[in-house]
Structures are given as C-alpha cells and as structure tokens.
A and B are shown apart, each in its own frame.
Chain A
C-alpha cells in the first residue's frame, strides 16, 4: 500500500520525528513549507495529528475542562451523576459507564474517593475535641450523620462539620481548628483539603511542610500557624498568624509559590485565577484554640456545679473543658454542701455578672477548684459553719469581688495560690454584708456580731494587683501572702497582719497613704485604731522605682 505522494511521505516522516524526537528549526521550516504548499501534505498532517490526539484519549488522557467547571461538578451541580462515596448507606457503586463519562473531568476525585465498600475507612488523623459538633459524611443528597467522640479516628473522604467547632490532630502532630460550616478531607499524615469553611492550623516543630489545599489555593506551612477561609463560591483568604507559609494557585501554570510572612494575608479567586494581597486586619478573626468553653445554662438551677443539668453542653463537668458563669448576665452557681467538694472541670471562670456561691456543710470544709478565674466576677461566702477553705489556683483576670456575707464571724480561707493576669492589675474588692438585728424570738447568740475574715494561707508572689478592703478582715497569715501588690483599707475594712511581716508597693489606710519604709504593728495600731487587728507583724512600703 504505497499510494502516498512523496510530499505525504516526507510529511509523515517529519511528523514521526516531531512526535518522538523533536524537530530542529530547519525541519520545522520544511514541515511548514510542505503544509503551506501541498494540500495532500496538509490533509495527511491533519489526519496524523488527529490520530495522535485520539490515541491520547484512548490511552487514558485525563482531560480537564478547567478548575472552575470541575469545581461545579464537584459541587454536584452537573447533570451527569458522578461516582460518590456513600458508605454509610451502602449505596451501590455507580455504573462504570457513568464513571467513564466524567472520568477525565474529575479524575482526581476518583482517586481520592474511597473504595466502594460499605464500611468506613479511617485515617490516622484524630478528633482531639469538639464543641456542639454535628458531623456528616458524603456529598450532595447522599449525606449521613456520624457520631465522633474525642479521640476517634476521622473517616476517609469528605467530612462535613455541619455545626459547632472541632480540633483535629494529624498524625504529624499538626493541629487544625475547624469552624462550622466546614467541609474537609484528611489527605495523609500531614495534609488536608478544605472544600469550604474556616480553619486554623498550628504546625509544631518537625511537622513543617503541612499542606492545606482549597479549591482556590494551595498552602504549604513552613512552620507555626496560619488561618484559612474558603468559600463555596471560589474565594480563599489565607493569613499567617505566626511564622511563614508558601501559597500557590492550584493550576500547574503558576508553578512559582509565593512566600507569605507573619500578619500578611492574601486572597485567591478561583473564578478569575488571581492571587492578591489583602489587609489582614480586614479579615474576621480566626479561632486559634478550641473553644472548649461551656457556659452555665440560662435555666440552670445552679445547684451542684458538676451536674450536666447546669451546663450548655448537657454533660457533667469534665477535665478537658473550661466553664463559664456570667459573661454579662447575672448568673450564680452553688457549690454542693459536702465535706470536700471538687469541681471537675479544667477551669471555672466567674465573669462579669457571675457569682460563685461557696457553701459548706457546717463543719470545716474544703472546696477545690483546679483553676478558678475571676474576671469581674464575685466569690461569695455563704457559710453555715465557721470556716471554709478554697484550694487550687485562683487567677484574677480582672477586677473582682469577694463577698464575706455578713458580720457573723465566719472565715473564708484561701489556700490557693493567687495570681493576677500579666495584663491587668486586678483589684480585689473585699466587702462584708451586715447582719440585721432580729427583734423576734431569736436566741441571744444570733445577735452577736463579729467581722468575717478572709484569711490568705498561701504566699502569692504572682499577685500584682490591689487589695481593697471595704469590709471584713483581711488576714494575710503567711509572709508574702499579699503578693507584690497595693493595699487599701477603708470604711469598715480591717487588716490583721497575722504576726507576719509583709512588703507592699503601697498602702493606704483610712484615706492616708503610708510613707515608704517599715511600719510596725504598734505604730500602725496607734495610727489607725479600729483598722489594725492582731498582735504583731510589720508592713514595709517599697520605694517605687521610676
């Protein structure tokens, strides 16, 4: 069969050469010359090239019609059905024909889809913790809810966080906080894909190189922390919180990644394929820690602080969560009346408007709170016995109040270390309610009055705020119990030095500021009768450094 012309033959040889070895400039020019002048060469050229293109297809070419169109397919907006991973329902794997129809278009989907078994495969990534989370797997119409608990492995494939917040830990140690609504997928021990939603990733030493991609942007972490916000409409905002990252558009055409430094942000737009700098200040703030915060329910009875009925997660207090009372609302919770009562949460925050009512069972009792935080909240001692001791740690994150309920001579002992926040020099207001004289058939003992005492049994070098004793007796019972603080004693407030020596930054009693230097108990008692109690000790006022 040699019905080809010399021009066709030469063209064919040039085309073979071009396909497998490439043409030099002279050969290129020769080919162009043949095509311009010889119609039969042009026909052969077209047929031959067409044949190669057809062979590309037959050999499994993955022909994409573009990221944007593909993403529409991903969103399930296309007419032809695409293979989907629907293991929870045990749906049958879609027909091979439909896979073939869209295989080229969504080939990368197929690769990452789970095998068509009815069991869920799990990744090595784990759910560290979740708050009010609602999980779904699958896409489009074929989603089903799944239950995930702290410590559970995450399933393969697309996971939908429909509500709440979650912290995911990758095998590498990278921690990612997700805010609902979010759709994501674990892609290995140090990689993930965020289809949409907001995420913050913290990459520890040794896990650098963490990859988090979105439909619009690829990110490689070069260490520490960054945040992403991906929308279904094809925008991704990325911001470096700490350290640096590399960002790149997902299209192979833009192979040069861009380094993004701390506090810098960029926006990628998949629709027009752009990547531009934006002001990081304009981005809404990202969650950097999991809000393990649990809040006292509005309808809480307040009794038994560990009870599930009180907290908005409907769970008993647990050691991996932080508990909040107040936050601008008047809310109170009571400690149970037991010999020893321990709060089981990791921390208890008494915020503005919040009151922690300390009860005892009539004897010398202990209340233990691992981390008590007071930020414009109130501690209120409501004793039935003589004294109550509170242990654990207390942080004064803002001005707060300690209420000694009345002048019935009770003692609240703070056996905890007290700290003030580094940022705020908190004022602790100590006050005391006044018991009214009863005129009915009360016993005589009920009409005895004595100031109640706040006794500090622990040295507090970490407290740098201000003691403001408006009522009751403040009794620093060990040296250093007042910390590196200011002290004001006024109105009905009293101070019992407890026989110990204390050093303070400043002291003001009954409106008078004490001079720098040492003040003995006797001198103080003589100068401020009624305000100084006890039988010894000294106050030293430091010279203020400029």
Chain B
C-alpha cells in the first residue's frame, strides 16, 4: 500500500497542525482526555473526507469545522449530564476562536520565552502540572507543597504567564 500524494499531504498537514486542532478541541470540550480522543476521531474523518478538501483553501478552517462538529456530536452522545456548553455557546466560542487564530499562534511562540522568564521552581512546577496524566495533586506532591498552596501557586503562575505573553505581544509589531 503506497501513500498517494494526497495522503502524504494530509499527513504533513496533520503533523504540522495537530496541536492546534487539539487546542481548539480542548477549548471547546474542556477535558484533556476527551480532546485527545476527539483529535484522533477528527483526524480519521479528515482523512475520509480529504477528497473534499481543496488544497488551495485553509486547512485549519476546514479541520476546525470537522472538529466542532465532532464536539457537538460527542456531547450529544454523552447526554445532558456532561454537557459543559450548549451548541449555541459552542458556536460563539468557535467563531471567536477562529477570528483569533493568528494572534493565538503568536501567543504560543511568546509563551516559550515567558516560561524561560519564570523562576526555575515555578517553571518546574507548572510543567509538572501539565505533564501527561498529572494533576494539581501530583504536582503538589512532586514539589512538596500542600494542595491549597499548590492551587494558589498554579493560579499565580498561569496569570503571570498570561500577562507576560500579553505584554510581550503588545511590544511586538504585528506581522
């Protein structure tokens, strides 16, 4: 089974963009494991529907459309109990998110610099919190904090990172 040029193109696009699609899914579904599963689901559908995709158009926009549809479908299956946002709100968030894509991309780049600006302890702590399978609890244990102190520290570091990125972004000329 040889990959067609189109297959190769899709692989490349997915490799390049899978973290962006994931972030979009995570924003909508609010749960890391669900977002990771839905990413796989989305990729399969993207592959199946890839013949419909015009390479001259925006891959991200197209994949986000599929991803949003996957999220709505998923929530429908989950039933009322687990629904975080209704379809109407999902559309609002999705719409705003898509408008922000270029800015979000720049924020991502700047975030790495801001991580470097954190103290060593804070950087280790926040990264430990976001490791696969980790939680505030595991990060607290890892750093020897009690859990309430960990909540406070995480909130503080997140806010600092966000402000740092916003500040640095404002200082940078827009592309």
Contact = CB atoms under 8 A, between A and B. Distances in A.
B136 A36 contact: no
Contact of A59 (B12, B93, B132, B165): B132
Contact of A62 (B27, B30, B132, B166): B132
A79 to B, nearest CB: 6
B37 A54 contact: no
Interface string B112-129: 100100000000001111
Given A51-B111, A65-B18, A1 B162 contact: no
Interface string B28-47: 00101000110111011001
Given A18-B30, A51-B162, A69-B14, 17 more contacts: A1-B167, A12-B159, A46-B27, A48-B158, A50-B104, A51-B165, A54-B108, A57-B22, A59-B131, A59-B134, A60-B132, A65-B39, A69-B11, A69-B43, A78-B3, A79-B12, A101-B15
Contacts of A72: 3, 7, 11
Q: For chain B, what secondary structure do more than half of its interface residues adopt (helix, strand, loop), or is it mixed?
A: helix
Interface string A17-55: 011110000001000100110010011111111111111
Nearest to A78: B11
B18 A63 contact: yes
A205 interface: no
A57 B154 CA distance: 17
A77 interface: yes
Contact of B26 (A49, A73, A79): A49
B154 A20 contact: yes
B61 interface: no
25 contacts: A12-B162, A18-B30, A42-B92, A46-B27, A49-B30, A53-B22, A54-B19, A54-B111, A55-B111, A55-B129, A56-B132, A58-B115, A59-B132, A60-B131, A65-B15, A65-B40, A66-B44, A68-B47, A75-B1, A77-B2, A80-B15, A102-B15, A104-B18, A105-B15, A233-B1
Contacts of A53: 19, 22-23, 26-27
A7 interface: no
B151 A79 contact: no
B21 to A, nearest CB: 9
A72 B166 CA distance: 40
Most chain B C-beta atoms within 10 Å of own C-beta, residue among A16, A57, A65, A75: A65
B156 to A, nearest CB: 9
B90 to A, nearest CB: 10
A380 B68 CA distance: 81
- Most A Cβ at <10 Å: residue of B93, B128, B134: B93
A63 B36 contact: yes
B73 interface: no
Contacts of A104: 18
B96 A42 contact: yes
Nearest to B137: A20
Nearest to A77: B3
Interface residues of B, number: 63
Interface in B127-153: 127-132, 134-136, 150-151
A107 to B, nearest CB: 10
Contacts of B166: 47
Contacts of A73: 11
B59 interface: no
Nearest to A69: B43
Interface residues of A, number: 57
Contacts of B22: 53, 56-57, 61, 63
A50 B93 contact: no
A246 interface: no
A53 B108 CA distance: 10
Contact of A36 (B11, B26, B92, B162): B92
Interface in A451-469: none
Contact of B97 (A28, A46, A75): A46
A526 interface: no
Contacts of B85: 32, 35
A478 interface: no
A242 B30 CA distance: 46
A31 to B, nearest CB: 8
Given A59-B132, A60-B132, A50 B158 contact: no
Contacts of B93: 35, 42, 45-46
B88 to A, nearest CB: 8
Contacts of B36: 63-64
A232 B2 CA distance: 12
A19 B19 CA distance: 19
Interface string B45-66: 0010000000000000000000
B107 interface: yes
Given A56-B32, A69-B47, A78-B11, A51 B161 contact: yes
B95 to A, nearest CB: 10
Contacts of B131: 59-60
Contacts of A95: none
Interface in A236-293: 251-253
B38 to A, nearest CB: 11
Given A16-B155, A59-B131, A48 B162 contact: yes
A485 B11 CA distance: 72
B154 A61 contact: no
Given A16-B151, A61-B132, A253-B37, A52 B26 contact: yes
B135 A46 contact: no
Nearest to A20: B136
